[in-house]
Amino acid sequence: MLWVTRLSGFFSAAMVMVVLSPSLQSFPPAEAIRSSQFDGSVRFPGQIAGGARGIAFRRAPSFRNAADCGGGGAGNGTAANVCDPSLVHIAITLDEEYLRGSVAAVHSVVQHARCPESVFFHFLVSDPGLGDLVRAVFPQLRFKVYYFDPDRVQGLISTSVRQALEQPLNYARNYLADLLEPCVRRVIYLDSDLVLVDDVAKLWRTDLGGRTVGAPEYCHANFTKYFTGRFWSDQRFAGTFAGRRPCYFNTGVMVLDLERWRQAGYTQRIERWMEIQKSPPGRIYELGSLPPFLLVFAGHVAPIEHRWNQHGLGGDNVLGSCRDLHPGPVSLLHWSGSGKPWARLGAGRPCPLDALWAPFDLYGPAGAGAGAEESR
């Protein structure tokens, strides 16, 4: 009954926020958090699925397309028909450190999608064995695992404000156009520390207006802080933004036109800036994989509604600081920053908004599933 008590506390926190927060009151009920779906994922935890290294997850509840979806069909954990034009393609990384978040993100997508069997996941990994875990947790999921060789980018990575931002897999998004099949012409890239509370098909249908990248832009942010004094003092670098109106955008949620990306060779352009960063006489930026994206795309981004990336919930790189939502409707909650909801919940020190992540969490200690089965 301990998990019931904890869940009650989570929902109490969520209800307090709904009452107190104008931003949470602003999104339409149909696009909000559907408590009936949350109940199904935690009331019947099912059996434990998982693999080596002591990682254990409950099997996700089953899902199916609405009657009017058409196409799609159950995936049974196979990569068949990846070229089906009716599919919604999503790319996300899998690694042990963020695995709990990735599983929760996938769970949130299929729970809120009207046509979940028509969603195809492309998992980027440096440990191919993680694909077996996905298959066990999501038996119906349509997906394929792509191995990303850390050596491909290791020599280009420079130190950052957080060690997590220096991991090679964090740069795998730069290579989606190369890794995915040529028939995949568009993909949604999602970070591992987020959950959706809306139908991902709405994001998929975003009109990019001929642009390669679509993302929520934040033009009020201080754009200059993402680059060093060396960058701004050297016109060869600062002139990169001439004729552009560059705005900050978060690379954790992007809609990418892979066909245009391949034609323009954007992977090579990003790599070139990473090479400059590593060369003498010094650094031109400080923050991980983001600045090269800004250098190549800022000012040429198709703007997407802010509801699709309510970011910064991880505390803005300040450990232990709790953040509120930005004003406006919500379709995606993103715990960017150093504080992750699974870590804070595990430590017994959650922020209030972590209660909105918890119902998608499928992590469970070894043996918990068997005990749950016996108690029913």
What's the pLDDT score for residue 297? 98
What's the pLDDT score for residue 369? 34
CB 113 within 8 A of CB 119: yes
What's the pLDDT score for residue 5? 41
What's the pLDDT score for residue 166? 75
Single out the residue of 140, 3, 119 nearest to residue 59, CA to CA. 140
Instruction: Please state the domain extents for the chain.
Output: 82-306
Q: What is the pTM of this model?
A: 0.84
* Bond from prior residue into 216 cis (ω within 30 degrees of 0): no
What's the pLDDT score for residue 319? 66
Return the amino acid letter for 57: F
What's the pLDDT score for residue 33? 34
Could you read off the pLDDT tens digit of each residue along the chain, which spans 376 residues? 434 344 444 444 444 343 333 334 334 433 333 333 333 332 323 444 444 455 689 999 999 999 999 755 555 555 568 999 999 999 999 999 999 999 999 999 999 999 999 999 999 999 988 999 999 999 999 999 999 999 999 999 987 655 656 789 999 999 999 999 999 999 999 999 999 999 999 999 999 999 999 999 999 999 999 999 999 999 999 999 999 999 999 999 999 999 999 999 999 999 999 999 998 888 999 878 999 999 999 999 999 999 999 999 998 657 668 999 988 999 999 999 889 999 999 999 899 999 999 999 999 853 343 333 333 3
Give the tens place of pLDDT for each residue, 40-77. 332 323 444 444 455 689 999 999 999 999 755 555 55
The superfamily CATH assigns to domain 82-306 is: Spore Coat Polysaccharide Biosynthesis Protein SpsA; Chain A (3.90.550.10)
The angle that helices 290-297 and 266-278 make with each other, rounded to 10 degrees, is 120
Collapsed DSSP state (helix, strand, coil) of residue 214: strand
Averaged pLDDT score across all residues of the chain? 83
* CA dist., res. 215 & res. 262, Å (int): 19
